[in-house]
Amino acid sequence: MENQHQPANDPARMQRMYRTASRLLNTGKTEDALTVIEYLTILEPTRPEYWLAGGVARMRMGHLDQASASFQVAEAADDRDPVPVLLRALCRLRQGLATEGMAALRHAHSLALASGTRSWVTSAIERQLDAADGLTSSHAAA
């Protein structure tokens, strides 16, 4: 007789839960999405996409320190992906931590360039760097 119970971390079940969390995030049900995402990170703590999604949810909720910490875990799990570094930089910049935010932006930019492909990530980072340079120039002129 076949076991009808799936283990909690069954890959197909985890994928369904992740899709559910993504739908919740995309429809503005951020707290519900975060509940699912937190469960996923307990079951599979090494999956960077879960930490990235958790960071996005926390960022939307205004919990920038927690979001930044989630992005750092995602970054540690995949140290070649510029996306969590970019998002951590945005958190830090929104918190007024310009030095830390700019350092993270520059790091994200180097990761994006090292990947060898131009993408929305590279463009987004360059827009942020240009905007920050504009702020720095205007403060220096004042």
pTM of the model: 0.84
- In this predicted structure, what is the pLDDT of residue 134? 67
**Is the predicted pLDDT of residue 17 greater than 90, yes or no?**
yes
Between the CA of residue 121 and those of 37, 53, 57, what are the distances in Å?
23, 16, 19
Residues 6+ apart with CB under 8 A from 81: 48, 74, 75, 111
**Is the predicted pLDDT of residue 138 greater than 70, yes or no?**
no
- In this predicted structure, what is the pLDDT of residue 9? 80
CATH topology assigned to domain 9-79: 1.25.40
Place of tokens 């992740």: 18
- In this predicted structure, what is the pLDDT of residue 24? 98
Q: Where are the domains of the chain?
A: 9-79, 80-142
- In this predicted structure, what is the pLDDT of residue 85? 96
Question: Tens digits of per-residue pLDDT, 70-101?
Answer: 999 999 999 999 999 999 999 999 999 999 99
For the stretch 104-127, what's the b/e string if a residue is b when 16 or more beta carbons lie within 10 angstroms of its beta carbon?
bbebbbebbeeeeeeeebbebbee
- Residue scoring higher pLDDT (104 or 140): 104
Between the CA of residue 118 and those of 83, 84, 115, 126, what are the distances in Å?
13, 17, 8, 11
81, amino acid identity: D
